[in-house]
Amino acid sequence: MLILISLFNIGITAQQISNDSTSNENILLNDGRAIVDDAVSYFISPLNFDLSEWMKFAAISAGTVMLITRDEAIRKSIGRNTIKSLNNDLWDIPTKYGIITYANIISGVVYLTGLAAEDNEIRITGRLMFESLTYSGLTVMAVRYLAGRVRPYYEKGAWEFLGFQTDNEFQSFPSGHTVVAFSLSTILAERIDTWWSRIFFYGLAGMTAYARVINNQHFASDVFSGAMLGLFSGLFVISKEKEREYSLSVSGSESESGFYIFPAINRINLLYSF
């Protein structure tokens, strides 16, 4: 029997997956369940935030506001006189990296490769990429609609928020390309789990953010908030997967009774097995 006690959200959870269920049908079913479970956890996660998590949120919010006060100065300093996302130059590469269509293709290819090769690590990486992109994407769509921020090339100033807008010209905050880039890069960097993967993938995501500013598509505060959202989404789904894997490893083992501690993104979990 397993009793899972969250130090910040006490509850009992159970998951039963047959160890010899290796068919693609069972794999797809289990992955589908994981996607749904993680989605619910992701969208209600603010309800489980502890003080430190709310302090981080407050710090990010304060940083965003501070950047807004400098947005115009930064735009005039590094922004180019263009209204195009793609300008046939070097910055097209990181810009394309932040296009959701390409990102979804990458996640799908990684998932199917792992499925075909019967490699769980690759398959799960593809699923986590899809989850991070989907959850952060839905979030950014909602925030953009509510904020209705005018894009910088309209030159109406950094404080022009109209609210409840569906037109792309009024959806500057936060940067969708940056959200996509950091959602993708966080999964790849942390799943590969090497120093070079972190430098490369986070660096590429950072270049995507910079490209959005110099191409006059977003303010600095747009890309900062987008980076934070993408990073949070990636780390969140990785944390949920670690919880899932740990729970399965303990339930599938014949280890002695005792307490086990493992971290989650916004809490520390205490597991007692007997």
Q: Supply the DSSP symbol for 273.
A: E
Q: What strands lie across the sheet with 268-273, from one edge to the other?
A: 2-6, 268-273, 258-263
Give me the pLDDT at residue 173, please.
98
- Burial track 33-63 (b if 16+ CB lie within 10 A, e otherwise): ebbeebbebbeebeeebeeebeeeeeebeee
Distances (CA, A) of 177 to 27, 41, 64, 128, 217: 31, 24, 17, 18, 10
Q: Minimal CA–CA distance to 180: which of 97, 238, 239, 122?
A: 97
Give me the pLDDT at residue 248, please.
82
Side-chain half-sphere of 157: how many Cα atoms within 13 Å?
Answer: 5
Give me the pLDDT at residue 22, please.
53
Place of tokens 């590969």: 192
The single-letter code of the amino acid at 185 is: S
- Burial track 113-126 (b if 16+ CB lie within 10 A, e otherwise): ebbeeeeeebbbbb
Contact 112, 131 (CB under 8 A): no
Tokens describing residue 213: 């500013």
What phi, psi does 114 have (nearest 5°)?
-65, -40
Residues contacting residue 217 through CB under 8 Å, at least 6 positions apart:
85, 151, 152, 153, 172, 175, 177
Residue 268 host element (H or E): strand 268-273
pLDDT in tens, the chain (274 residues): 333 323 233 232 333 434 444 588 899 999 999 999 999 999 999 999 999 999 999 999 999 999 999 999 999 999 998 889 999 999 999 999 999 999 999 999 999 999 999 999 999 999 999 999 999 999 999 999 999 999 999 999 999 999 999 999 999 999 999 999 999 999 999 999 999 999 999 999 999 999 999 999 999 999 999 999 999 999 999 999 999 998 888 766 544 444 444 444 445 454 444 4
Please name each of the domains of the chain with its CATH number: 2-13+21-273 (1.20.144)
Q: Minimal CA–CA distance to 136: which of 62, 54, 229, 49?
A: 229
